[in-house]
A and B are shown apart, each in its own frame.
Chain A
Amino acid sequence: MTERAEAVLEARELRLGFGAVEALRGVSLRVAPGAIHALIGPNGAGKSSLLNCLSGFYRPRSGRVLFGGRDISALGPAARARAGIGRTFQGIHTYPGLTARENILTGFHARMRAGILAGLFRWPAAVREEEAFTARAEEIIAFLELEEHRHALVGEMPYGLRKRVDLGRALALEPRILIMDEPMAGMSPEEKGDLARYILDIRDRFGIPVVLVEHDMDVVMDISDRITVLEFGAVIADDIPAAIRTDPRVIAAYLGGATEGATP
């Protein structure tokens, strides 16, 4: 992966403000193919704002978002999801009344065809389609090791499992890039380890680049290919983890002495 590689997702000079507060002050970002790209920075630095601009929740005041070379600045979140930008949420945004497998199956909505009558009468074509997509959902279930929970209601699951279902649902969109907003927040160390492994697998097995906002420095330093550091709505560093660790501006702004404590 070189500096020159064609970016999958690119943000150019994004500016975003809430009233008098400027959340993003001309932020640019390039996500290379197959890279795990972390966004870090102190609270209020604009990480989540940047993610929401990428996934279409916020409309920036100026600047552009390019996806696979195409300008998607004007698309809303649903259109961006269909274009191939999958995302997972901060906190819990799964469907509690659906089972784990049904949650994942909802991700296939745009790819499936069955309409109202097929749903009501369940004719053979609808059953065949349902079977085919259930088999694909099962592949995701196997990948995320959710087999024993496939029929459990997500609303009755512990937090870590729900986050895994959330990830499964995003994978069902068959995205070309995955955006994760604080995936590790609130997880136990074991759950963090599992999730970090899944993120690495997603990159290696599916070749899907991952953009993640994360506060756990150990995780970020371990799994990221590249790190962008934000402070007060501006990029103060953008480099490989080893360089970020020693960047004096980053240490001053955010890490403090934390790098010494980081696990090797």
Chain B
Amino acid sequence: MRPTGLWFETHAAEARVLETRRARLSALALLAVLAAMPLIAGPWLLGELTNLFITLIAVLGLCVTVGMAGQINIAQSAFVGVGAFATARLSGMGVPFWAVLPVAALITGAVSVLFALPAVRVRGFYLALTTLAAQVMFPIIVMALPMAWLGGLVGLPVTPPALFGIGLSTPGRLYWLCLAVTVLAVWCGFNLPRSRLGRAMRAVHDNDTAAEVMGIPVARVKIAAFFTGALFAGVAGALMAYFLQFVTAQNFTLFASVWYLGMLIVGGMHSPLGAILGVCFVTALQEGLHKAANLMLQSDSALGGGAFFALSSILLALCVLAALILEPRGLAHLWHQVMTAFRLWPFPRN
């Protein structure tokens, strides 16, 4: 629900995501804190945040394909891999990073269209299987191709990014680069659902039979959903390649794809806000538990080291389950409920 006393004079003003002054100022403050991080945070936190940004971009892409258009995709990690390998090759050829990002995105988009074609005919479980095939084929193809192409079993080194002769590979500068791209990706993620194509995707999600009769070309919209989601994956892959400085097929596993989906589901599939909340929540849990297990490991204990990590994984799974049981529509829904309650206070929400 909207806050009271909010009036709009144009349709464009009404379509704003950050409606109130307070919301805009809060976003700006958050951005300022994030931008100041390299000055205050240590290398560990900086690395974690950079990784979180990259994950967020990939999950935003998944939010387009799965959340908005309803086309199940469990190959997002493979698509990130396509972007990463494209980046390794392009950067190796001396292409500057500002050109690498869009080109890697387009290459990933083009590859995704191949796997989107089944979506025109199949749905649900069957579509899940075809995207699963993409995920499984990815490392096999990378390793089967000649060494000179994608590095085979060894992998490919990545030439560090630079802008106007200034290297961007220090943790702080790479962080800023990832932050800037993430802000752009989040902005795009919020723009899409209120655009012509985004509405068509959501319509296809809700009722593709009706959409067809109402003049929406369903097959093209489904392919566009895969393509757009893969654009995000390609950008995420490019940043990941710069972050890791070396890419191998083992970086892009089914495990990661499933986690991307898990983050989206925990956060709430239907809005980019869900992608943001889900990624932050799950990453914080993962890393927090990991760190806790590490600390326990260092302290003397009767339990073996492996037990802590096993326990932390179980705890992580339990937390994700709890989030899903308590709020099946995702953290984004919870967020909206809290905002509504806040705006209605002291009157009860119903």
What is the interface of chain A, defined by CB distance below 8 A to chain B?
Answer: 55, 57, 77-78, 81-82, 87, 89, 93-98, 102-103, 105-110, 112-116, 118-122, 126-127, 129-131, 134-135, 169-170, 173
By the criterion of a CB under 8 Å from any partner CB, how many residues of chain B are at the interface? 33
Chain B nearest Cβ from A48, distance in angstroms: 14
A155's nearest neighbour on chain B, judged by CB, is: B206
Distance between Cα atoms of A36 and B270 in the complex (Å): 41
Q: Are B192 and A169 in contact (CB under 8 A)?
A: no
A-B pairs with beta carbons under 8 Å apart, 25 shown: A77-B213, A78-B212, A78-B213, A78-B215, A78-B217, A81-B214, A95-B206, A106-B200, A109-B196, A109-B214, A110-B215, A110-B216, A114-B196, A116-B227, A116-B231, A119-B198, A119-B228, A120-B191, A120-B231, A126-B195, A130-B11, A130-B15, A135-B11, A169-B214, A173-B215
Q: Are A109 and B215 in contact (CB under 8 A)?
A: yes
B10 within 8 A of A: yes
B207 within 8 A of A: yes
Q: Are B188 and A120 in contact (CB under 8 A)?
A: yes
Q: Are A94 and B188 in contact (CB under 8 A)?
A: no
Q: Are A115 and B203 in contact (CB under 8 A)?
A: no
Q: Are A97 and B227 in contact (CB under 8 A)?
A: no
Q: Contacts A121-B188, A121-B191: A77 and B196 contacting too (C-beta < 8 A)?
A: no
Q: Chain B residues near A106: list those with CB within 8 A.
A: 199-200, 203, 211, 214, 216
Distance between Cα atoms of A94 and B207 in the complex (Å): 7
Q: Chain A residues near B199: list those with CB within 8 A.
A: 98, 102, 105-106, 109
**Chain A facing B: main interface SS:** helix
6 A-B pairs closest in CB distance: A119-B195, A95-B206, A93-B210, A120-B188, A134-B11, A122-B191
CB 8 Å contact bits of B158-183 with A (1 = contact, 0 = none): 00000000000000000000000000
B344 within 8 A of A: no
Q: Are B216 and A109 in contact (CB under 8 A)?
A: yes
Chain B nearest Cβ from A87, distance in angstroms: 6
Cross-chain contact of A130 among B12, B211, B228 (Cβ < 8 A): B12
Q: Chain A residues near B209: list those with CB within 8 A.
A: 93
Distance between Cα atoms of A97 and B201 in the complex (Å): 11
Q: Are B192 and A120 in contact (CB under 8 A)?
A: yes
Q: Are B203 and A93 in contact (CB under 8 A)?
A: no
Q: Are B210 and A109 in contact (CB under 8 A)?
A: no
Q: Chain B residues near A105: list those with CB within 8 A.
A: 196, 199
Other A-B contacts than A87-B213, A107-B215, A131-B11, 17 sampled, CB-CB below 8 A, are A55-B213, A77-B213, A78-B213, A96-B206, A98-B203, A102-B199, A102-B202, A103-B203, A109-B196, A109-B200, A114-B195, A116-B228, A118-B196, A119-B195, A129-B196, A130-B194, A134-B11
Query: Which of B207, B213, B214, B231 has the largest number of chain A CB atoms within 10 A?
Result: B214
Q: Chain A residues near B217: list those with CB within 8 A.
A: 78
Q: Contacts A98-B199, A102-B199, A105-B199: A119 and B213 contacting too (C-beta < 8 A)?
A: no
Distance between Cα atoms of A87 and B213 in the complex (Å): 8
B205 within 8 A of A: yes
